[in-house]
Structure 1
């Protein structure tokens, strides 16, 4: 195999420095024939190559904990061997992001799997998730073609679930994910919030969906970051119980007034830009609880942002502001 001149110096003779970790990111490799894969390998990163077939030697790396195949040319057949390579069954992290997969591969042999990344593929269904071990902490299936939230019930240890940029219409089957801390559902077709009783969520994104109401978050008292931009929300409501909220993004909606956040004493970032807020009258009372804490507020492209002394008024209301829209203060 001919190596490019810019990468040749990095692995002369097919050897890579370091026994425990091999990073071959962006070498544009079509195969691994000239690469030494020591049996002591713990981590193998093959990001941004031209691989479509798994080298069988990978299946012998019994100490391997992390395998990254991101941004290659693997299809379903190309990754199939991994399903029966028992020698690497102690794998903790498997990254198949940005390939050509159309289904979730069978990873049932990986009894200690913590991170499973299938983002940026062509997967239309979550069928196959039922075989993913219940040890999983992080699951990424964003930028696929998934239409339904399913086969999640057994993932009791899941901390992060990323299903953004799919074709989801309904939030469902989340009730068993009682340890979930982050839920990312931006760029879908969801109309109604349904968190199925989950209360531990700390970060939640429903950006670029079809919401018209903010109701549904009331019981998520642990929430620290809430992202709801680019929806059709008409009114700020259902927020008064979210006393741990630090970041609230409701930009690019249809909101006409700031409401229901006067008790949020930990609020630091408030994104209200690109709405229909006509006046600054009463905004100091509406955000009274965070008067000392608020460090950034965005109101640009609202009618009120055209008022004389707009920034001065806001700085008088909130003495510790460091940023108004794109303007920073020392």
Structure 2
């Protein structure tokens, strides 16, 4: 069964080379899904995770203000003793090549005394309380993979000596400007998801960059991407983008995720005839006109728009998956004319369209008749006799 189209970059850790590694994880972390915002980071309504009681609040236990037993040491849970950062790695093998300190309440990178681990190539300090990038120069000779996902970092600094980095993840922080990364010329993967970035900048010199994640920021314009000739995947979902201009120089781009933006016009994509995957659900599309030149497309997600028909998909002979739920498609003959000749097409989603809502009992059979090659309709496999 085909997986749902991604809202953001699905970052699975891939196979690891043989070797030792360390992983320190909080025994009782708060439940959180991959990609979910840290409770310590402000959400869209400005909540920063701190509980504030108004002066007019009514206490359910007002005796707590006057009863001394509420604060008597004998009635107070001593809580968990948190070790100092410098003690976290004391028992670890100095020859390790990977350190994972996830949800470990780390505040200071220098206090970890990383110079004790001269073979480290991958450092993961996810979901901590780090505010400054510092103390990493001691790993400059070996470090290639640095993850500081979900911390409290507001400025990009401290990376001057880390010129061997190929992967840098600064997602879920408080970064407003992309700076001090252009010297990292070996980078292939760069992640800035869920920050406060309003402008694409500072990427000159990253000639080997293949994957750029800028989802869930404040970006209004696709710009300054010309200096990324090797870029294959661009993720800019959940921003404020209105136009798909500024992509023409990306001759190697194969995947574009621009979900949850404000795009109305697909015609600029004619500059990307090599595009293979397009995720553009939750936008303001009223037509698919402009996709006719994107004949290499295999995966297309146009769900949650206002598209009335699929006529523009007729030339896209290599389509394998079409996600078109919650649009205004009402005519089965239109679906047949646009997609019946696509021999590689295996998955379609049309739920929430008039053609499904008007006759839900007959919907699947009608889709199967129009598209006999289909193996999956919405979330269900097609039975074969």
TM-score band by shorter chain is: 0.7 to 0.9
Give the drift of 1:22.
Answer: 1.1
Q: Distance in 1 between matches of 2:212 and 2:304?
A: 25
Matched, 1:167 2:223: no
2:186 pairs with one of 108, 113, 135: 135
Larger deviation: 20-29 or 143-152?
Answer: 20-29
Instruction: Encode CA deviations 1:129-182: one digit per residue, 9 max, x unaligned.
Output: 334x11100000000000000011211100100000000000001112111111
Tell me if structure 1 keeps the 8 A contact 2:242–2:262.
yes
Instruction: Give 2:7's aligned residue.
Output: none
> Who wins on radius of gyration, i.e. which is larger?
2
Paired residue secondary structure (2:332): coil
Q: Give the alignment's Cα RMSD to 1 decimal.
A: 1.9
Instruction: Encode CA deviations 1:223-246: one digit per residue, 9 max, x unaligned.
Output: 221100000011102222222211
Question: How is 1:63-212 mapped onto 2 (pairs within 5 angstroms)?
Answer: 63-76=119-132, 79-82=133-136, 85-131=137-183, 133-194=184-245, 195-212=247-264
Instruction: Give 1:39's aligned residue.
Output: 94
Q: Distance in 1 between matches of 2:119 and 2:241?
A: 42
Give the drift of 1:295.
Answer: 1.2
Q: Distance in 1 between matches of 2:231 and 2:121?
A: 23
Instruction: Encode CA deviations 1:51-75: one digit per residue, 9 max, x unaligned.
Output: 1122342134221100000111111
Question: How is 1:16-31 mapped onto 2 (pairs within 5 angstroms)?
Answer: 20-27=20-27, 30=83, 31=85
Tell me if structure 2 keeps the 8 A contact 1:262–1:288.
no
Give the drift of 1:27.
Answer: 4.5
Instruction: Give 2:14's aligned residue.
Output: none
Give the drift of 1:99.
Answer: 0.4
Instruction: Encode CA deviations 1:3-56: one digit per residue, 9 max, x unaligned.
Output: xxxxxxxxxxxxxxx973112233476525153233312111111211112234
Residues 223/94 of structure 1: CA separation in 2 closer, same or farther (3 Å cut)? same
- What is the count of residue pairs matched by the alignment? 307
2:274 pairs with one of 222, 239, 246: 222
Instruction: Give 1:51's aligned residue.
Output: 106
Tell me if structure 1 keeps the 8 A contact 2:86–2:112.
no
Report the TM-score when normalising by structure 2: 0.75
Question: How is 1:309-320 mapped onto 2 (pairs within 5 angstroms)?
Answer: 309-320=362-373
Tell me if structure 2 keeps the 8 A contact 1:19–1:40.
no
Tell me if structure 1 keeps the 8 A contact 2:274–2:294.
yes
Report the TM-score when normalising by structure 1: 0.87
Instruction: Give 1:329's aligned residue.
Output: 382
Tell me if structure 2 keeps the 8 A contact 1:27–1:48.
no
Larger deviation: 93-102 or 309-318?
Answer: 309-318
